[in-house]
Amino acid sequence: MIKKIYTMILFIVSPFFLYKLYKRKKGVPSFGPRWKEHFGFTPKLASKEPPLWIHAVSVGESIAIIPLVKALKKRTPGQPILITTTSSTGAAQIKKLGQLVEHRFMPLDFSFAVKSFLVATTPKRLLIVETELWPNTLDTVKKFGIPISVINARLSEKSYHNYTRIQPLFNLMKDNIDQLLCQTIEDASRFNLLGIDESKISTTGSIKFDIQVPPNTKVKGQELRNKLGTKRKIWIAASTHKGEEDIVLLAHKRLMKSNPNALLIIVPRHPERFEEVNQLCNRHGFETVRRSSNKGVLSSTQVYLGDSMGEMLVFLSAADACFMGGSLAGSKVGGHNILEPAALGTPIVTGVSYYNFNEIVSNMLLSKGIIIVEDELSLSNTMSKLLNSWDTCTTMAKSASVIVKKNQGSIQKTIHNLDLKK
């Protein structure tokens, strides 16, 4: 009965979800004729051998699994890998893997769509990245006799309480999961409290610690820095959300009173908001240059809008300090990946809402590798302190880097626990 009620609700809300997904947005790749894949009309794969199926819902998960995929292919070169994403932006990231994998869009959580997908692709095993759990999908995959593992699994305190509110629905899913590889002991404990058998749970760390900075990233970062100005003080607001940009821009305006030559690189989290943020910068009275315009940055330029895809590491490398978005303005996002700036040696500042990275931030706080800010004033004051103290920046960067290196190795632990020879 619970499953029927869930499916009925899904049927009602899916048109709204699809409208949001397919609505044409500037800077976001179009699905084109591939929209049919969401309904199970999935083209057959090039290889006839059953693939290892990895599902990474969107951009963040897609970026995180790239080192894992490369490690898997190195271990078993002949094993075909199929990666599904829900979003077209996630698909754009997977495209960077080239011939190493095949990509398909994930079918909606309707049994008929999932069945059609499975018949077309015949996967041997499903690896779900983080916690993208869908009742009908798990049930259908299990009925096809396909083992299901959740890798890099995380469950914040907030998400745990949300699941307890729909415990009967979660109960439908938990028995279909064969293996759960969690980021932290706390994540593992919460999943266990929800009813997943302890024997199915292991702690392997976060694969995001195993970030691989491409060799030419710092070269490109220095090239960008040369264009922006080597003698300027530059900070970046990365992966910002609606409401947050206002705080960041006000903080920059305050910062410029003591550092009139300071430059802000602002990179909105969602590409469809690039134009909106550009207009916001103009309304605040900033002389703004967009990355996509290819215009030169003058000494009078105050804001540089990073409105391009796949260049976050380059932007971070070009900056003296980083504020990581999704963490201010009463954010319900819970923060974004602070490990990227840490790996690049860029000092990190985050807002008070960082529950998705709670353990990482807590460890960095203990080693003084990160600073927490609450509002426009504290953000401005903190950035002023960092931009005017090379020693502080260097000390913070080293402390954060130690945390990253200390926690690396999750990919090998994940592969070992998966035991893909089974």
Give DSSP secondary structure letters for 354-381: -GGGHHHHHHHHHTT-EEEE-SHHHHHH
Token reading at 351: 């807002």
The residue assigned the tokens 């299901």 is: 148
Quick one: pLDDT at residue 231? 92
CATH topology of domain 28-206+408-418: Rossmann fold (3.40.50)
> Phi and psi at residue 392, in whole multiples of 5°?
-65, -45
Residue 298, amino acid: L
Residue 188, amino acid: A
Quick one: pLDDT at residue 51? 96
* Per-residue pLDDT of the chain in tens (422 residues, 90 and over written 9): 888 888 999 889 888 888 888 887 766 778 888 999 999 999 999 988 999 999 998 777 888 888 999 999 999 999 999 999 998 888 888 888 888 999 999 999 999 999 999 999 999 999 999 888 999 999 999 999 999 999 999 998 888 999 999 899 899 899 999 999 999 999 999 999 999 999 999 999 999 899 888 889 999 999 999 999 999 999 999 999 999 999 999 999 999 999 999 999 999 998 889 999 999 999 999 999 999 998 889 999 999 999 998 899 999 999 999 999 999 977 788 899 899 999 999 999 999 999 888 888 998 999 999 999 999 999 999 999 999 999 999 999 999 999 999 999 999 999 999 987 65
Max Cα distance, the chain (Å) = 66
What is the DSSP code (8-state) at residue 327?
S
Residue 72, amino acid: L
The residue assigned the tokens 């079918």 is: 107
Quick one: pLDDT at residue 194? 94
Per DSSP, what are the bridge partners of residue 60? none
According to CATH, the superfamily of the domain at 217-406 is Glycogen Phosphorylase B; (3.40.50.2000)
**Distance, CA of 180 to CA of 150 (rounded, Å):** 5
Q: Do domains 28-206+408-418 and 217-406 have the same CATH topology?
A: yes
Quick one: pLDDT at residue 356? 81
Quick one: pLDDT at residue 359? 82
**Distance, CA of 166 to CA of 214 (rounded, Å):** 42
What distances in angstroms separate CA 303 from CA 238, 281, 365, 393, one per listed residue? 13, 8, 29, 22
Annotated catalytic residue within 37, 49, 61, 223: 61
**Distance, CA of 105 to CA of 72 (rounded, Å):** 21
pTM: 0.80
- Cβ proximity of 307 and 27 under 8 Å: yes
Quick one: pLDDT at residue 62? 84
Residue ranges covered by each domain of the chain: 28-206+408-418, 217-406
Q: Is the dihedral of CA 47, 50, 144, 6 positive or negative?
A: negative
Element (DSSP H or E) covering residue 66? helix 59-75
Quick one: pLDDT at residue 21? 83
SS3 state at 88: helix
Quick one: pLDDT at residue 421? 60
61 is catalytic: yes
Quick one: pLDDT at residue 87? 87
Quick one: pLDDT at residue 59? 78
